[in-house]
């Protein structure tokens, strides 16, 4: 059941000054016009994720529209990191026939609430930051371009264990969020596969501020590594309190730790965190260097992984639009998107597998002296 639009928290952006009149491509015919709905975590404790994502999208939008082949309008809704608000935003977008497809929401917890309905309504939805197992399997209209935890966490754990010779690991995770739970499952499975002893499994809830009970138990079991599946607002506090309690061993984190907010909040306590990502900010790859430069010019700060993935996501949509040849047919767009293969984004070659999941490479990074650096073997 679709709700009709109520209230209006959405913002519509159409950069490049091309909103009023349809402009002609220099070489051939009509510019393909498309309206894309965006559901993003823009207010509340984890708003830095959504801010990075929407900035990445808007930068890509500006460049894509300047090229003149397609003209994308973004209709942006705030989900506040809440599944219910994300569902309301999704229903509003789906009910608007002029919206071709959706990007977001930000969290897997939100995405699991919205995507089944999008799939039923035959509107394409793609996550740019959703990493839990089972996302693209929701349905034919459901995609993501974010590297799943099932790829990123084992890559980070393997490097961490190889370097430290770790045999014993403790795990801490949030047990009320789809992403933190999914990350935990991957950590546990990977530890078992690697023959590591799990000394203790500790849980916390969203918004918790005191982790002493959990960290005391972890400390008493003397692990060689701590595996943490958390969003940045809780994860940064956990690592900070751990260091203050004398837990000095490296942390291996899930995707939530890929935000510079971890360093912002935890400061030096974040040193020794190891995490898998498709984006390494200080990469010498010319595509990344160029992206960083343009992003800094636009927003006065460095991009992060979430901005980079969102930036690539809109280019992936634009590429599908060109192949679909229309910005109005939801099915034609879905079919063109599904065929994305070896698309050259700033994060490397990108393809979807048969279920709409990501095929691409993972980099492992660590925080050293208050900075993400490439993990050295």
Footprint of ligand 1QQ (CB under 6 A): 49, 106-108, 129-132, 179, 231, 255-256
Q: What is the DSSP letter of 111?
A: H
Closer residue to ligand 1QQ, CB minimum distance, 231 or 288: 231
- Residue 2 C-beta: closest distance to ligand 1QQ, Å: 25
- Residue 212 C-beta: closest distance to ligand 1QQ, Å: 24
Would you call 232 helix, strand, or coil by DSSP?
helix
Name the packing angle between helices 305-324 and 330-338 (round to 10°): 120
- Residue 52 C-beta: closest distance to ligand 1QQ, Å: 9
CA dihedral 275, 278, 283, 285 (to 10 degrees): 160
Closer residue to ligand 1QQ, CB minimum distance, 125 or 132: 132
Long-range contacts of 207-211 (CB under 8 A, 24+ apart): 207/45, 207/234, 208/234, 209/237, 210/241, 211/172, 211/237, 211/238, 211/241, 211/242
- Residue 115 C-beta: closest distance to ligand 1QQ, Å: 12
Closer residue to ligand 1QQ, CB minimum distance, 132 or 170: 132
Q: How many CA atoms lie within 13 A of 195 on its CB side?
A: 2
- Residue 112 C-beta: closest distance to ligand 1QQ, Å: 9
- Residue 197 C-beta: closest distance to ligand 1QQ, Å: 27
Residues 6+ apart with CB under 8 A from 333: 34, 100, 101, 124, 320, 321, 324, 326, 327
Closer residue to ligand 1QQ, CB minimum distance, 51 or 224: 51
Closer residue to ligand 1QQ, CB minimum distance, 87 or 107: 107
Strand 348-352 relative to strand 197-204: parallel, antiparallel, unpaired? unpaired
- Residue 307 C-beta: closest distance to ligand 1QQ, Å: 12
Nearest Cα neighbor of 179 from 241, 255, 245 is: 255
CA 213 to chain centre: 30
Closer residue to ligand 1QQ, CB minimum distance, 136 or 327: 136
- Residue 322 C-beta: closest distance to ligand 1QQ, Å: 28
Closer residue to ligand 1QQ, CB minimum distance, 132 or 166: 132
Closer residue to ligand 1QQ, CB minimum distance, 70 or 270: 270
Phi first, then psi: what are they for 372, rounded to 5°?
-75, 125
Residue burial 226-258, b: 16+ Cβ < 10 Å; e: rest: bbbbbbbbbbbbbbbbbbeeebebbbbbbbbbb
Would you call 217 helix, strand, or coil by DSSP?
helix
- Residue 310 C-beta: closest distance to ligand 1QQ, Å: 11
Closer residue to ligand 1QQ, CB minimum distance, 88 or 261: 261
C-alpha to C-alpha distances, 170 to 45, 150, 165, 221, 310, nearest whole angstrom: 26, 19, 15, 8, 33
- Residue 127 C-beta: closest distance to ligand 1QQ, Å: 7
Residue nearest to ligand 1QQ (CB): 179
DSSP string, 261-289: HHHHHHGGGGTTEEEEES--TT---HHHH
Closer residue to ligand 1QQ, CB minimum distance, 55 or 65: 55
- With tokens 């260097």, the residue in question is 289
């Amino acid at each position: 059941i679709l709700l009709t639009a109520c209230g209006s928290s959405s913002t519509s952006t159409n950069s490049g000054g091309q909103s009023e009149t349809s402009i002609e491509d220099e070489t051939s015919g009509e510019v393909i016009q498309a309206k894309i709905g965006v559901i993003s975590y823009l207010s509340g404790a984890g708003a830095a994720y959504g801010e990075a994502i929407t900035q990445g999208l808007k930068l890509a939008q500006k460049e894509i529209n300047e090229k003149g082949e397609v003209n994308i309008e973004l209709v942006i809704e705030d989900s506040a990191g809440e599944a219910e608000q994300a569902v309301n935003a999704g229903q509003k977008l789906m009910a608007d026939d002029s919206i071709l497809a959706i990007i977001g929401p930000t969290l897997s917890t939100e995405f699991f609430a919205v995507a089944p309905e999008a799939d039923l309504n035959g509107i394409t939805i793609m996550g740019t930051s959703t990493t839990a197992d089972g996302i693209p399997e929701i349905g034919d209209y459901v995609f993501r371009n974010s590297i799943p935890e099932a790829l990123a966490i084992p890559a980070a754990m393997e490097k961490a264990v190889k370097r430290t010779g770790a045999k014993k690991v403790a795990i801490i995770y949030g047990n009320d969020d789809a992403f933190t739970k999914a990350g935990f499952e991957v950590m546990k499975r990977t530890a078992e596969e690697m023959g590591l002893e799990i000394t203790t499994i500790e849980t916390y809830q969203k918004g918790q501020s005191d982790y002493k009970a959990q960290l005391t138990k972890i400390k008493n079991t003397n692990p060689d590594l701590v595996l943490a599946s958390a969003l940045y607002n809780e994860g940064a506090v956990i690592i900070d309190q751990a260091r203050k309690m004398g837990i000095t061993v490296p942390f291996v984190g899930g995707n939530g730790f890929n935000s510079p907010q971890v360093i912002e909040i935890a400061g030096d306590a974040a040193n020794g965190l190891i995490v898998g990502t498709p984006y390494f900010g200080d990469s010498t790859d010319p595509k990344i260097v160029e992206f960083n430069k343009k992003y800094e010019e636009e927003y006065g700060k460095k991009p992060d992984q979430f901005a980079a993935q969102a930036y690539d996501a809109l280019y992936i949509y634009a590429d599908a639009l060109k192949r679909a040849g229309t910005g109005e047919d939801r099915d034609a767009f879905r079919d063109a998107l599904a065929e994305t293969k070896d698309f050259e984004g700033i994060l490397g070659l990108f393809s979807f597998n048969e279920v709409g999941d990501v095929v691409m490479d993972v980099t492992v990074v660590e925080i050293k002296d208050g900075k993400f650096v490439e993990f050295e073997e």
